[in-house]
Structure 1
């Protein structure tokens, strides 16, 4: 019995020592922080006509904003081709949490162009729909080459992570 207890203690001690070795297998891992971390995430966004009515009978669509490979002040806006078909990069003002894109920037889903303007992230400015969880909100405007002269408005809130808030 003492022999079994000794073996069990040795195994447990060895396992703990191996699992607590901080550098084991992670020597080359770089846990960088994205420059645009305050802008990045999944968002539920609705598109609106200039008069404020919901565009084309749509509802909430899942968009993703994420840093570019350069990890600078530019980030992607992407609706995954779900509704307005927008995938383009914009430039962030990191201090004021505002963003915009260049005029007639490439739009990668349709191959056309888009001009994103007046973008803003409002920290703790939104709520998850069912749970009421406080989340960030987002707003921006976009003019597409397929409808020149019409500036659509986009507004929504960050994904809360709660199943009840999924649209």
Structure 2
């Protein structure tokens, strides 16, 4: 039985629900079943559904596992003040707009086994997949074009290059 929800600050429930909708939309866009996603995240299907509804009683660790299973990541940012003096949504950093096709990069495809072979990832999602799963990668199996992708992603996203 799920634990009771902790008291939430004003607006937090709305943000959690929106967060859950984004997770659900990503899973649907990737055409991955709830069962497959839950297994990849190490949780029950019911917990995944609670996450997709934005329930505050689900642990942050479970949310993070669900995000990782879908090739997503989250960042904590301070709101910025606009001209009105009120906090406004932060502007995300600019990143390359091209997508990375899993089918073009064998090691990335192997690391993102739960995604369809024809899936396309944003540069941030591709880098996150490599970074989170690097301990499972075989650097000696990387082809030249995949090594170049890693170098380009690190440079474009301002990250420390992976040890290839």
The two structures have a TM-score, normalised by structure 1, of 0.22
Higher helix share: 2
Could you say which structure has the larger radius of gyration? Answer: 1
Higher strand share: 1
